[in-house]
Structure 1
Amino acid sequence: MARIRDEDIAAVRERAQIEEIVSQYVTLRPAGGGSLKGLCPFHDEKTPSFNVRSQVNLFHCFGCGEGGDVISFLQKYEHLTFTEAVERLADKVGIQLRYEESRSGTAPRQSREQRTRLIEAHRIAAEFYADMLTSSTEAVPGRQFLDQRGFDRSAAEHFGIGYAPRGGEVLRRHLLQKGFSDSELITAGLLAQGRGAPYDRFRGRLIWPIHDLLGDVVGFGARRLYDDDRIEAKYLNTPETPIYKKSQVLYGVHYAKREIARSSQAVVVEGYTDVMACHLAGVTTAVATCGTSFGDDHARLLRRLLRDQDEYRGQVIFTFDGDEAGRQAAIRAFEGDQRFVGQTYVAVEPNGLDPCELRQRSGDASVRELIARHRPLFEFAIRALVDDFDLDHPEGRTQALDKALPLVARIRDRALRDEYARRLAGWVGAPDELSVIRRARAAAGTSERGGRRTETPPAGQQALGVPDHGSADPQTLALEREVLRVAVQRPALAGPGFDAIEPDAFQSPVFRAVRETIAKAGGCATQPGGASWMDTLTRAADHDVTRHMLSELAVEPIPADETDIPRYVESVVLRLTEVWVSRKLVGLKARLQRTDPAEDVETYNKLFGELMALEVHRRDLRERGLGTT
């Protein structure tokens, strides 16, 4: 797989100033100490807790805990991969990225240049189609189609709806005049190759632009308007191209992605007009597949938006036009990735209406109510099978049980499988629910003694806690944090004094891990600070918990004026050193008391000497500390 060179990534981090990038999305105001503050874009809040510190090119929210550098901000906000975020920033700051050659030998730069050209062609095409819808008398049937379904001009403009003229070369001539070649436009899927010259792929149809996560138009969906259309299919979609893979795109995802992330909910509908109807009705998490059934790649895309990692944190609601369609789709889902399916729900309109039809007939509130009445997918699929049988007679109940048990057995979560086996017994009126559970277990090929699997916490969480500060008193913890803050933000000032403080001076396991990370990164004495120092620290950190804490420390303002910061840094380092030495003195005195000089005079004298040296050291620290106050 193509990989951006490390030195180019570093150049993007350095040149893309975080306050300039973040301020395009968040209103930032000075917060003192070189920090900027605003309302967090990653969670709802009324009091600003989102901090940006340009000196280290980092952000951190003290409300929800999100933090990182300029690349991770764009990843989180725009829901991009690392590579996509770097490429987007490189475009903004004018850096030409270089890539490692892929195994196929195709230069990634060439692929990116081709993508840029195809994206630009689609952008121009989308503008052309949209202009045709509003300005062309030929587009009257298209405008009528939208009006009949409750979509006015503002709705059409919001979703970029357009019209493709019936002539076979109208778009082609327009794009050729813009400098594109027939070859490029065929590759883009905008033209099709005829016996002679290429011709417009979409003709005499209503057009929906399809965006990727970045917001770029990568394809189109086209709806039949005329009875004499040579292509009988109601919908015609862009074919597979270098930028359009129908199994990897969802219509409406560009409009829905932020609300999906905010609400941890996605609604999957069946068509373009259904997405429009849902959004206009207030269900702004709606998306749809583009000419294909919902698959694993679509599931991965939604997980990415829902921030699903090791544990699923959201729900996906599928809407279907009728019970039979819903049942078949739900049953198919049992074959997929059930970590996703287990949090999936189904909403079916009893009269077989899709969201667009429902909104036309009963208004916006009815669409919202349909989504609100969702049911768990497992329940829906199993009940749909059971309800096919006459449960008033023993024969029907037995047949329903025999038919549904194999479906229950395919539930991979053992605890959930047992629960649905128990429910199935109730639905069919089986007198012995334990026997139904046993049959489901046997069909699944598992032991009756199997229980719920316990998940192991991530390594960093296991080692450090999240964040567990141990039993240290709050004042000591506050001092430890102050010292680490200046070491992260002003390492040269913290210098050898900080480096002399050993990790066991920090009672909080999290703070101790940060101290060890600073040591692993080379210590403070020779570090100039800034973004390069933070990058070194982040790479040296072993766990996400440590990286999270580093992010917090980097953006917290130092409580001192710029002219007083050197004195402040020296003061807190000395105070923590004194606390640490005092703690060592307590331990040393306890050891000395436990040592009998009559039995081990050598050890006693050694401990006594260490005690006297520490007392002198502590007195010196106190005197130096007084001089800094």
Structure 2
Amino acid sequence: MAGRINEEDIAAVRERARIDEIVGSYVTLRRSGSAMVGLCPFHEEKTPSFQVTPSRGLWYCFGACSEGGDVISFVQKIDNLTFVEAIERLADRVGIQLRYSDDGGTRTPPGLRMRLMESHQAAAEFYAEQLAAPDALQARQFLAERGFDRDTALDFGVGFAPRDGRALLRHLRGRGFADADLVAGGLARESGYDFFQGRLLWPIRDSGRQVLGFGGRRIFDDDRISAKYINTPETPLYKKSHVLYGLDRARQAIAKKSQAVVVEGYTDVMAAHLSGVDTAIASCGTAFGDDHARLLRRLMGDHDAFGGEVIFTFDGDEAGQSAALKVFSGDQNFLAQTYVAVEPSGLDPCDLRLQQGEAAVRELVARRVPLYRFVMSNIVGRYDLDRVDGRLNALRAAAPLVGSIRDRGLVSGYVRELTGLLGMEPEEVQREVARAARAPRPQSGSGQRGDRYRQQAPDEHPPEESEQPPRRKGLELPDPNDRLLTTERQTLKLIIQAPQRFGAGWDGITAADFTHPAYAAVFTCVEKAAADGAEGDWAHRVSLAAEADRLRSLTVSLAVEPLPITGEPTERLVAAYSSGLQLLTVMRQIAELKSKLQRTNPVDQAVKYNQMFSELVVLEARRHALHQRSIGAQE
């Protein structure tokens, strides 16, 4: 792993990558005053609600999304990248060579990523051209036999690596690429030969359509490498556990539909997309793992994932069953419901399309069954259910599966289903499931299902320590048009957009002055940003202090919304809102104290009563002072 990116370089990327240019390459923007507006790329809309403010380097959606951020967060979200990946992509785009702190690991030399990306794009173009060469006849026949014509091959960028062993090297050398970079990128071997020779090739791209590597299929009997498929080795660009073939085509559909269909091969992805299954992707040269799951989680969005689904296509044979069990063991990485689509004939999506048509591929996905049901049926099928001990052992093997189901509403249904499979009494099955749900389990990430998905069967009451806390909801955003919260919102907008107009300690404002939790959280971010003493754009520093994405989006919206007046805000305006906000707090305190006084007997509880009355006098004096200050500022 490389070290941390130098903070100065991150700031330079953020400053040099003009947000209007970056966003404008994805969204059509038009000028509207000091801002630019367009249709939001993250949800369907007909009226533009997406706003970019170049002067502040921020974007925000005033529509259904209510999301926002800076140029880095935009690239993260639209191309499904991590923070580091977004920084590296922007740095490559604006010509900044990133520096990494030395943590003892392997570091990517400055500028290498940019050169590798350029060489991979050139290689992809070269390989695609070679598919039309005479030597590629067998490669074209391979595609044709699987139902893919020339136009489809061009659309997917399928190519061919010439057999002479050095054709790509000669081509890229002629384009000015150095041998050392070609070896570092996995395009050439240190021996001076092309990495891929005599292979049908698929370019493997990231969600932004940047070529990261290739997958090569054996098509010649005399190929010295016996493996049917070989992939680009691990490089600074290509990490097999972090890439998914077809993600560049499926990214938007996955995010829109909150669905991903995981197939096993490159031709399966092609067949699925041609059949209308536009959410199909595949792992590249490795099993679908935890990193792939996290990649899909980012793309589908955790907040929508319980309404989404990840569908795996497996054969109905023993290998397919084993693959399903492996997926189930890591299923805690999905918040989406996980399904299995099994073709009884054993055909993969590519052969299914070829033999039965594109509708059959769509039908395969439509026939999906929950992963739990598929695995449960296979577990029970291992036992002799004609024997009493066989049924009991099958129940004990399947009960932990049912007990781990995260959706409580499904538990009773699966108990009934397991009862039917076993031919046992429902009460006996339910007791065993409840016992399995209470049993200690390994923590998440250990390769087994985590405790947080453990569920109890209905009508069972396990000990208190086994009960799971309710799933936490994300921070609820306030209604920007709520009149009861107008003073809070306008005050925060002034703090973020005109901090220089406030006195020390924000004129006495505290987080307790904000009644909505989100507004209070934003003010806490303000205090953090002020305390760190860093330099740079103030609004951006406040947004960085927000840990949650939704809170960061709220901060951005406060930074770009119009202020309550035209022109530059004045100190009198700031005083009016700051004193008005604190006045509301004092009035709430007075109302609460008066309520307590009414419930207190002045004779039997004289000391307590007199103390509260003295506090009320102080509060009334403060209320009067704040009221006068507010009126004076307004005048």
| Inter-partner Cα distance in structure 1 for 2:557 and 2:155 | 39
For 1:222, what is the secondary structure of its paired residue? Answer: strand
When the two structures are aligned, how many residues end up with a matched partner? Answer: 603
Q: Paired residue for 1:562?
A: 567
| Inter-partner Cα distance in structure 2 for 1:94 and 1:558 | 36
Indicate the percent of aligned positions where both proteins have the same amino acid: 47
Q: Per-residue CA shift, 1:136-183, capped at 9, x if unaligned? A: 122233223323323233321221111122223322322333344555
Q: Kindly provide the amino acid, as one letter, of the partner of residue 476 in structure 2.
A: V
For 2:287, what is the secondary structure of its paired residue? Answer: coil
| Inter-partner Cα distance in structure 2 for 1:620 and 1:563 | 21
Moved more, 14-23 or 239-248: 239-248
2:476 is equivalent to residue 466 of structure 1: yes
Residues 196, 216 of structure 2: 8 Å contact kept: yes
| Inter-partner Cα distance in structure 1 for 2:211 and 2:611 | 81
Q: Paired residue for 1:76?
A: 77
376 and 585 in structure 1: CA distance in 2 versus 1, 3 angstrom threshold: closer
Residues 59, 67 of structure 1: 8 Å contact kept: yes
85 and 201 in structure 1: CA distance in 2 versus 1, 3 angstrom threshold: closer
Residues 69, 543 of structure 2: 8 Å contact kept: no
Gaps of 5+ in 1: none
For 1:351, what is the secondary structure of its paired residue? Answer: coil
Match of 1:255 among 249, 255, 261: 249
2:148 is equivalent to residue 151 of structure 1: yes
Q: Where in structure 2 are the equivalents of 1:73-152 lying within 5 Å? A: 73-104=74-105, 106=106, 108-110=107-109, 113-134=111-132, 136-152=133-149
Q: Per-residue CA shift, 1:540-570, capped at 9, x if unaligned? A: 5576665443222112223543378888666
Q: Paired residue for 2:541?
A: 536
Higher relative contact order, structure no. (Cα contacts within 8 Å, ≥ 6 residues apart): 1
Q: Kindly provide the amino acid, as one letter, of the partner of residue 142 in structure 2.
A: F
How far residue 345 of structure 1 moved from its aligned partner, in angstroms, is 0.8
Match of 1:433 among 403, 426, 431: 426
Match of 1:369 among 340, 346, 363: 363
Q: Where in structure 2 are the equivalents of 1:243-282 lying within 5 Å? A: 243-282=237-276
Question: TM-score if structure 1 supplies the norm length?
Answer: 0.82
| Inter-partner Cα distance in structure 2 for 1:208 and 1:582 | 68
Q: Paired residue for 1:50?
A: 50
Q: Per-residue CA shift, 1:44-69, capped at 9, x if unaligned? A: 22333323223332222232232222
2:498 is equivalent to residue 483 of structure 1: no
For 1:499, what is the secondary structure of its paired residue? Answer: helix
| Inter-partner Cα distance in structure 2 for 1:347 and 1:69 | 40
| Inter-partner Cα distance in structure 2 for 1:383 and 1:556 | 56
Q: Paired residue for 2:9?
A: 8
576 and 353 in structure 1: CA distance in 2 versus 1, 3 angstrom threshold: same
331 and 589 in structure 1: CA distance in 2 versus 1, 3 angstrom threshold: closer
Residues 575, 633 of structure 2: 8 Å contact kept: no
Q: Kindly provide the amino acid, as one letter, of the partner of residue 224 in structure 1.
A: R
Residues 385, 400 of structure 1: 8 Å contact kept: no
12 and 144 in structure 1: CA distance in 2 versus 1, 3 angstrom threshold: same
Residues 5, 100 of structure 1: 8 Å contact kept: yes
Moved more, 233-242 or 420-429: 233-242
579 and 149 in structure 1: CA distance in 2 versus 1, 3 angstrom threshold: same
2:312 is equivalent to residue 318 of structure 1: yes
| Inter-partner Cα distance in structure 1 for 2:49 and 2:55 | 18
Q: Per-residue CA shift, 1:513-544, capped at 9, x if unaligned? A: 43454355449xx999xx61113323555766
| Inter-partner Cα distance in structure 2 for 1:603 and 1:426 | 67
| Inter-partner Cα distance in structure 1 for 2:85 and 2:292 | 18
Residues 579, 629 of structure 2: 8 Å contact kept: no
Q: Kindly provide the amino acid, as one letter, of the partner of residue 129 in structure 1.
A: Y
Q: Per-residue CA shift, 1:260-307, capped at 9, x if unaligned? A: 222221111111111011112221211112233223333233233233
Gaps of 5+ in 2: 441-459
Q: Kindly provide the amino acid, as one letter, of the partner of residue 171 in structure 1.
A: L
Q: Paired residue for 1:406?
A: 397
For 2:334, what is the secondary structure of its paired residue? Answer: helix
Q: Kindly provide the amino acid, as one letter, of the partner of residue 64 in structure 1.
A: C
Moved more, 578-587 or 61-70: 578-587
Moved more, 587-596 or 360-369: 587-596
How far residue 356 of structure 1 moved from its aligned partner, in angstroms, is 1.5
How far residue 251 of structure 1 moved from its aligned partner, in angstroms, is 1.4
| Inter-partner Cα distance in structure 1 for 2:358 and 2:620 | 78
Question: TM-score if structure 2 supplies the norm length?
Answer: 0.81
| Inter-partner Cα distance in structure 2 for 1:341 and 1:514 | 28
Q: Per-residue CA shift, 1:481-528, capped at 9, x if unaligned? A: 1222222212234557962445554433433443454355449xx999
| Inter-partner Cα distance in structure 1 for 2:543 and 2:564 | 24
| Inter-partner Cα distance in structure 2 for 1:540 and 1:231 | 53
Match of 1:170 among 156, 167, 191: 167
Q: Per-residue CA shift, 1:379-398, capped at 9, x if unaligned? A: 0122235457787xx44x86
Residues 328, 371 of structure 2: 8 Å contact kept: no
For 1:68, what is the secondary structure of its paired residue? Answer: strand
Q: Paired residue for 2:443?
A: none
